[in-house]
Amino acid sequence: MQGPFADLEESAITRAIIGSFVQDFTASLELDCAIVGAGPSGLTAARLIAEKGYQVAVFERQLHVGGGMWAGGMLFPRVVIEPEARRLFDDIGIRMREWEEGYLVADPVEAVSKSAAAALDLGARIWVGLNVEDVVIRGDDRVAGVVINWHAVEQARLHVDPMALRAKVVIDASGHDASVCRTVIRKIPGARMCSPEGDVPGEKPMWAAVGERVLVENTREVYPGLLVAGMAANAVAAGPRMGAAFGGMLLSGERAAELACQLADAVTL
């Protein structure tokens, strides 16, 4: 056979996929920061952590990034960003227009695509289709990594053992579920987050102004080695939800990045 693609061979395609994946994924086995969830807060945190030269990877259970940002509000593909967070989108070239004073509107497809591309360009790695089902703990009851499996395995209810990787810091940016925090509470007797009862109460009903304001305040270390960001932060601290306003998410990611870098500097794998 002659002409374009004449030398294309199926087993070579397979070798390229498997070989490059193993090579690249091996570089994520020891991290400064592992981020669970590739929504707006997780992507923002990944970009800013990578920008400072730290090794960071994001683990997203779905086969796409962006979390709840894709659908905008009720499938109307627009998101609102407050002026306080504008610089975080300006920095990566996301276009916004002022709809009325205090309300900037962005296209979620552009926002998600450029947020992911910016993080990748700076050296962050984003792994999709991977579910974080557990955490790694060391003797001092510090979160020291994450335990992963394919999300398809979880959905199929197959009994397949997971694998693990080490991380100096883990950020739970998993959204409303706060799944990493719930796992820690369930598996570590006496573990406490922000709630005196030691559980994850979930977010309160919608109050956009309060929800956005407290989101950054609730972005914190809630267990040694474990930070919360985005809606996971409000779920753990019982803050209100805010709907399709995303400025607080971006600022929460920025705050999580600052804290993660500080904590990573104090930890040795």
Distance between CA atoms of residues 27 and 46, nearest Å: 16
Total length of the chain: 269
76-110: per-residue pLDDT in tens?
Answer: 999 999 999 999 999 999 999 999 999 999 999 99
207-218: per-residue pLDDT in tens?
Answer: 999 999 999 999
Report whether pLDDT(67) > 80. Answer: yes
Quick check: 198 and 185 in contact, CB under 8 A? yes
Written as six digits, the tokens of 157 are: 């209810």
Cα–Cα separations (whole angstroms), residue 265 to 56, 88, 126, 141: 13, 24, 22, 19
User: Which pLDDT does position 197 carry in this prediction?
Assistant: 57
Write the CB contacts of 58 (distance below 8 Å, at least 6 apart in sequence). 35, 36, 37, 38, 42, 43, 46, 65, 119, 124, 125, 126, 127
Quick check: 259 and 220 in contact, CB under 8 A? yes
Domains and CATH numbers, the chain: 29-75+109-265 (3.50.50.60)
